[in-house]
Amino acid sequence: MAKAAPAILTIAGSDSSGGAGIQADLKTFAALGCYGASAITALTAQNTIGVQAVHGIPPDFVSQQITSVLSDIDVRGLKTGMLFDSGIIHAVASTLKEHFSNNGVIPLVCDPVSVSTSGHTLLHPDAIDTMMDEMFPLACLITPNKSEAELLLRRRGFPSAINTVQDMVTAAQNLSALGSNAVLLKGGHISIPREELRGVVSPDIEVNRDFIFDQNIEILQAHNSENATNELVVDVLFIKSEGKAILYPRPRLVSSNTHGTGCTLSAALACVLGRNATLAEATAQATSYTHLGIETASPIGQGFGPLNHLHSITKSLIAPRRKGDPFPLTYSLIRNTSAKWSKYVQHEFVIQLGKGTLERSSFLHFIKQDYHYLKYYARAHALLAAKSDNFAPILAATRIVLHIAKESSMHTSYCAQWGITKEELELTPESSTTTAYGAFLLDTGLQGDTMRLIMVLAACLLGYGEVGLWLKREAQKPNSWVVWEGNPYLKWMEDYSGEDFQNAVKVGLETIESRAAADPPSASRYAEWLAAWERCTDLEKSFWDMAMNLS
């Protein structure tokens, strides 16, 4: 017998346009694998432009709806949304207390909805105190946004202005004194620079960095014309029993598809808590679900459209390409191999080269072996042309082979500046590291999957592009450890950070991203791509090691 999906109850208003209220809640419940039940507190006439009318449901009928559900169904989690007035709030609180006084405690997420995005009042002003006095003590979590939090704090005499991350932490802590076990202060209405987050340091504040991975991705930031990664939104969770705050920062999204965001988040929280997750785990999962709902939404209506509640139903290993995130595959590859990628692109060879202190003998050994590597690199692209089945990729691969041939001539001239003749280049034996790397390229090209070959070729191209941009950015910092002017290896740094090479990086990024978007990988195929990418980063690191060790 299949295990039953957890039942979750939403007690909230109805949205005739379907983007918020119980409609958003029920979609969220289903998308997250839960059974949804509902008790309607108010009917609204609304659309993406605004709320045109609200009709409250009689409190005793709201109570009857809740009782009907709870007396029959094993509800594992609840959420409340729009409660409209004091009578309904009192009815909801009384009914929940009556039922759960003898039936244990289950997660209740209270979203203190008071004003719509368009400015329409959704909670009578005299009901705010009733909500704080009767609902908050029952809740394991309340989820106000900035405006709601300021309203609640003013009502109880706390400082209310919220403009910074520290303001949010203080506000969440003060809000927890109103009765609930925890507070999730939503940060969607506040943008903060990344630097402000770096300045938040306290033993009582933890930062969840799962969604702001930004290490060694200079190439992605440089080639994203819509890049807005410096602006973050931060949700703040304060857990009263633990006396600590957890920050959940994410890149700010520029989107008009935000109708029902608060409803969706609280519904997702109820689902995850209903599966016995901790508050911290539930917040991470629910904010991720909501964020992706905004990212993947298509425009609906003439105003603020709804989220895409169904994004989690269609499983995809790689996020879809979006205006603000054109390189999801590359981001995934780098993040999933972050430790090895870092050892590759920030290798000691690179650091000493940037400082200008790299031993001349190591650099000479490197450029000699790089000459041999270029032959393998060209042959691998020739294999790519041979394996392609239409003229566009054949032409692209052939152009790269011709470019490498031209580059080899330039490489020979560059080596001559270091006293290495063409004859010496040809007579220098391949190191075992060079042979191993070259054999891997050719073997990958012969094994069948064109995309696997593209992966390993891209790891080389993108890695050197990353190194070039990283050194250039570091050199621009005050009192930088990178020596630019007067560095004996300046031309090497200029070449890999320069326009010509970075244009090649841009083409490489577009190639792998467009191919992945046109033919999304299965789990096993993605694993093959990732393994090929990871192996290439290992071999690139070994190539730097070889140069340092003169092996």
Over residues 283-342, the pLDDT tens digits come to 999 999 998 898 888 889 999 999 999 988 866 678 778 766 788 899 889 989 999 999
Distances (CA, A) of 99 to 71, 73, 103, 195, 270: 8, 12, 7, 48, 18
pLDDT (average), residues 133-139: 95
| pLDDT confidence of residue 546 | 98
Binned at pLDDT 50, 70 and 90, residue 282 comes out as: very high
What sign does the CA torsion over 427, 430, 434, 438 have? Answer: positive
Q: Which amino acid is at 469?
A: L
Tell if the pTM clears 0.75, that is, is over it.
yes
Predicted confidence (pLDDT) per residue in 394-446, tens digit: 888 888 888 888 888 889 999 999 999 999 999 999 999 999 999 999 999 99
Output phi, psi for 428, to 5 deg: -65, 125
Distance CA 366, CA 362 (A): 6
Fold of 328-549: Heme Oxygenase; Chain A (1.20.910)
Q: 7-188+257-295: what CATH class? A: alpha beta
Please give the Cα distance from 136 to 443 (Å, whole number). Answer: 63
Q: Where are the alpha helices (DSSP H) in 177-222?
A: 194-198, 218-222
- The whole-number pLDDT of residue 400 equals 86
Buried b (16+ CB within 10 A) or exposed e, 426-453: eebebbebbeebbebbeebbeeebbbbb
The 10s digit of each residue's pLDDT in 242-264 is 999 999 998 888 888 889 999 99
Query: pLDDT tens across 383-392, in order?
Result: 999 988 889 8
What average pLDDT is seen over the chain? 91
* Model confidence pLDDT, tens digit, residues 191-218: 888 778 777 778 889 988 877 766 667 8
Say yes or no to pLDDT of 468 above 80. yes
User: Residues in the chain, how many?
Assistant: 551
For residue 245, what is the DSSP state?
A: E
Structural domain spans, the chain:
7-188+257-295, 328-549
Give pLDDT, residue 119: 59
Q: Are 236 and 187 in contact (CB under 8 A)?
A: yes
Angle between helices 432-446 and 523-549 (to 10 degrees): 160
Percent of the chain as helix, strand, coil, to the nearest 5: 55, 15, 35
For residue 309, what pLDDT is reported? Answer: 93
Which letter, b or e, does each residue of 351-365 get, where b requires 16 or more Cβ atoms within 10 Å of its Cβ? ebbbebebeeebbbb
Amino acid at site 228 = A
Ranges assigned E (strand) in 294-450? none
Specify the residue for token string 């060079």: 434
Predicted confidence band at 103 (pLDDT cuts at 50, 70, 90)? low
Q: What is the pLDDT of residue 300?
A: 93
Spatial distance between the Cα atoms of 298 and 313, rounded to a whole number of angstroms: 16
**Does residue 486 have a pLDDT over 90?**
yes
Residue 318: per-residue pLDDT: 80
Kindly list the catalytic residues. Answer: 186, 258, 260-263
